[in-house]
Amino acid sequence: MIDLHTHTLLSDGELIPTELARRAEVIGYRVLGFADHVDTALADTIVPLLVRVANDLTPVMEMKVIPGAEVTHCRPQHIARVVEHCRELGARIVVVHGETPAEPVIEGTNRAAIEAGCDILAHPGLITEDDARLAAERGVLLEISGRQGHCLGNGRVARIARQVGAQVIFGSDAHEAENLRPRSDAEYVLACAGLSPDEVAAAFGAAERLVARAVEAGGTQ
């Protein structure tokens, strides 16, 4: 199991990073990504803490822990700056909180996130074909979400991604231990979104490649 979109109590999750990592390890995760919420105010505080704990944990676990960030509810005009700053601070995977049907995200956020070159556009809701096509061109992965509310757009995301050749990825968006998904559950969510078995495999293949780039970038040992 590879899951690159989870939250700790450094933002709105329930567990400290070390406990969330242990919970994921127990249910068979191979790679866990911390992606706590940041904006123009919080990136400087949260990202270095996640980098520190990821670098502490990975050498002593059988599971890789990847430090990241989720740029959340930022004004579209600020997204590129915050994405770049998160990378400068050591985030190896940068997620942007997309235009989910479950929250009042500003229209234009999906486009700004893709143009900023984030790694994963989370729960992008009613993403347009043009935005999905740009995501395909720029290698931005579109999330199929395992989280209640955000998952309402999964079917459309899968369909639009297929039409334009964009790649999807699974993210649990876990905020507590019970939200973590074993691989079989993640595959089921992807299938329910309309993905074929080959497309499900491709989603995890994309996750593998993203992790390889993150490790190569020096974020984990």
Residue 90, strand partner residues: none
Under the banding of pLDDT at 50, 70 and 90, the label for residue 221 is: very low
What mean pLDDT do residues 92-119 have? 98
Pairing of strands 93-97, 120-122: parallel
Domains identified in the chain, total number? 1
Q: What is the band of 219 on the pLDDT scale with cuts at 50, 70, 90?
A: very low
Look at the block and give the residue holding tokens 């989910």.
100
In a domain, 80, yes or no: yes
- In this predicted structure, the answer to whether residue 220 has a pLDDT above a threshold of 50 is no
101 belongs to a structural domain:
yes
Q: Is the pTM of this model over 0.85?
A: yes
CATH number at residue 164: 3.20.20.140
In tens, the pLDDT along 128-184 reads: 999 999 999 999 999 999 999 999 999 999 999 999 999 999 999 999 999 999 999
Q: Is residue 128 part of a domain?
A: yes
In-domain check, residue 21: yes
In a domain, 60, yes or no: yes
In this prediction, residues 40-53 reach a mean pLDDT of 98
Give a yes or no: residue 200 inside a domain. yes
* 4-35 pLDDT tens trace: 999 999 999 999 999 999 999 999 999 999 99
Q: Is residue 221 part of a domain?
A: no
Dihedrals phi, psi of 168, to nearest 5 degrees: -100, 160
118 within a domain of the structure (yes/no): yes
Residue range(s) defining the domain that contains residue 108: 2-216
